Copies of this chain bind each other. A is one copy, B any other.
Amino acid sequence: MAVRLMAAGVRLDRASEVHFSRFGLSTGRYRLLVDLEDSDGEKSPSRLAKSLGVSRATVTGLVDGLEREGLVTRRASTEDGRGAVVVLTARGAQRLRDMAADHFARLQALVGGLTADERGLFLDLLERITQGIGALTAE
């Protein structure tokens, strides 16, 4: 059962990469862009790492890629000499707008096989399983 959940997770993850690659993004880069958009277009790498649930080193890599494509910019923080700020560019914001319709249509199709009640139930069960994940890493 854990095996099937993992398999489903991996398949979804794999399909996501295909989906996002149509827009020149990856799942990680897309998530970073959305996070940035939700933060008025500016956020430090370490705060991004925390909210995305990945390491700071991973954020460095994602930002490298996004910067190369001009979807994001880096600048030094004015308050903290150590800090940096990642800034969403106009091009980056446009990219998100461009993919919105297709993205949400596909998400809709993904969960369309379930009723609203079933979705709620599923999320509840998923939540409880998620809590058990700690058992794998305990000790």
Contacts and interface: CB of A to CB of B under 8 A. Distances in A.
A137 interface: yes
Interface string A22-57: 000001000000000000000000000000010000
Interface of A: 1-2, 4-13, 15-16, 18-19, 27, 53, 106-107, 109-114, 118-119, 121-123, 125-126, 128-138
Contact of A15 (B4, B8, B10, B133): B133
A132 B118 contact: no
A129 B107 CA distance: 11
Contacts of A121: 121, 125
As for how many copies of this chain the complex holds, the number is 2
A119 B19 CA distance: 30
A135 to B, nearest CB: 3
Contact of A111 (B111, B118, B129): B129
Given A12-B9, A15-B136, A125 B122 contact: yes
A126 B18 contact: no
